[in-house]
Amino acid sequence: MARPVVAIVGRPNVGKSTIFNRIIGDRLAIVEDKPGITRDRIYGVGEWNGKAFSVIDTGGIDLDNNDEIMQSVRAQAELAVQEADVIIFMVDVKSGITHADSEVAQMLFRSRKPVVLAVNKVDNDERMTDIYEFYSLGFGEPIALSGSHGIGIGDLLDAATELLPEDHSEEYADDVIRVALIGRPNVGKSSLVNAILGEERVIVSDVAGTTRDAIDTPFEHEGQRYVLIDTAGMRKRGKVYETTEKYSVLRAMKAIERADVVLVLINGEEGIIEQDKHIAGYAHEAGKASIFVVNKWDTVEKDDRTMQEFTNAVRDQFLFMTYAPVVYLSALTKSRLHKLLPVINYVSDQHAMRIQTHLLNDVVSDAVAITPPPSDKGKRLRINYVTQVATKPPTIICFVNDPQLMHFSYERYLENKIRAAFNFEGTPVRIFSRRKSEDG
């Protein structure tokens, strides 16, 4: 099920990143008192009144600045507006309505999207009277905020979540494996879709960013039904896209949310770059089954060590995803393509696997006997009981005497022991600690 999307939009330095951090409860965005510091959209997940939604923190839209970075920021903000279900339009009470605010307002009117007007930096009662001039922007009642003091955030979220669409349900049956293809531009996502389907259902081009929208393609193989979700590269608009090759991460995130299995495509010719790690990280954080697919392997000069060396590089670069198998193929020649679907089936099964409680407790008890938890200030962690509470991804709760004593390194040790016993290849395993209640 895809979450609805809220985009925070406004000119530079009105406090968008601070509000973003308040909404998601984390400090993912860079907060610095300097215009234009947020250059890429930042993504997170918020929840309010039982509604979960994705949040985008856009770079500031400076419509009077035509340098290349500002053009890129503006284009990314425009894309965020296109993808959003609800837009939070932020202005600054200290500055009043600027020319840039009016220009942004016109852009938002053209989008025909629901807009919530938020007036930031309203830190005292005197400034409350200054918010009324913002009625003239035409978005109804402004909501007064102070991002730095956390004032008005609840009112803002009430207004935004009220406008979110209700139904984002999927139409696919439970036995269908939904497979998302993600990766930076020109790694061969559309070519791989075509190779799997054996026909030209989507446009394939050497120009990065040709695919503009996510395309769902259902198909069946040996009795198993699948849906391929081909994520879009960012639409190219002029010189700035030719020079920066921005990747539409939002669309990848939306595809990831809807997927069971995520194929992280890597260009075998170019090797691994930093952007690959960012993209793969979204699949890991979303708790999806994942496979590294090294494409264009036919063009790589090889000897008997090349594949193992590349696999070692993948393991070194993606330390947080050592559970994900690596498949080498060529979408163009279909070399080794037959290996992909069996791996997709396998990791999908692992992602949905449930372990009986007594077996899980036996493994954890043995692990504790081999390596007892370290003590902290005279206190030692005691694990009373372990149970798996969810699948997709497998989620395990350890009932303990004090959750504060569960160090992340010991949690990793338990995960490794659980994987050694039950495999869980291709899927993250989430482990949480809860205090054992007094009544047991």
Residue 234 annotated as part of some ligand binding site: yes
Report d(CA 124, CA 131) in Å as an integer.
Answer: 12
Phi, psi of 331 (to 5 degrees): -65, -30
Residue 375 annotated as part of some ligand binding site: no
Residue 16 annotated as part of some ligand binding site: yes
Please name the residue ranges forming H helices in 318-434: 340-351, 357-370, 408-422
Residue 244 annotated as part of some ligand binding site: no
By the 8 A CB rule, do 116 and 87 touch?
yes
Residue 417 annotated as part of some ligand binding site: no
Residue 400 annotated as part of some ligand binding site: no
Residue 65 annotated as part of some ligand binding site: no
Report d(CA 416, CA 422) in Å as an integer.
Answer: 10
Residue 58 annotated as part of some ligand binding site: yes
Q: What is the largest distance, in Å, between two alpha-carbon atoms of the chain?
A: 74
Residue 11 annotated as part of some ligand binding site: yes
Residue 48 annotated as part of some ligand binding site: no
For the chain, counts of helices (H) and of strands (E): 13, 17
Report d(CA 14, CA 61) in Å as an integer.
Answer: 11
Residue 316 annotated as part of some ligand binding site: no
Residue 384 annotated as part of some ligand binding site: no
Residue 260 annotated as part of some ligand binding site: no
Residue 190 annotated as part of some ligand binding site: yes
Residue 123 annotated as part of some ligand binding site: yes
HEC per residue, 42-59: EEEEEEECCEEEEEEECC
Residue 212 annotated as part of some ligand binding site: no
Residue 13 annotated as part of some ligand binding site: yes
Residue 6 annotated as part of some ligand binding site: no
CA atoms within 13 A on the CB side of 209: 15
Residue 57 annotated as part of some ligand binding site: yes
Residue 287 annotated as part of some ligand binding site: no
Residue 119 annotated as part of some ligand binding site: no
Residue 179 annotated as part of some ligand binding site: no
Residue 231 annotated as part of some ligand binding site: yes
Residue 354 annotated as part of some ligand binding site: no
Residue 272 annotated as part of some ligand binding site: no
Residue 34 annotated as part of some ligand binding site: no
CA 262 distance to own-chain centroid: 12
User: In this structure, what token pair is assigned to residue 314?
Assistant: 């993948």
Residue 297 annotated as part of some ligand binding site: yes
Residue 12 annotated as part of some ligand binding site: yes
Distances (CA, A) of 229 to 122, 180, 181, 202, 268: 44, 5, 6, 11, 22
Binding residues for GTP: 10-17, 57-61, 120-123, 183-190, 230-234, 295-298
- Residues annotated within the binding site are 10-17, 57-61, 120-123, 183-190, 230-234, 295-298
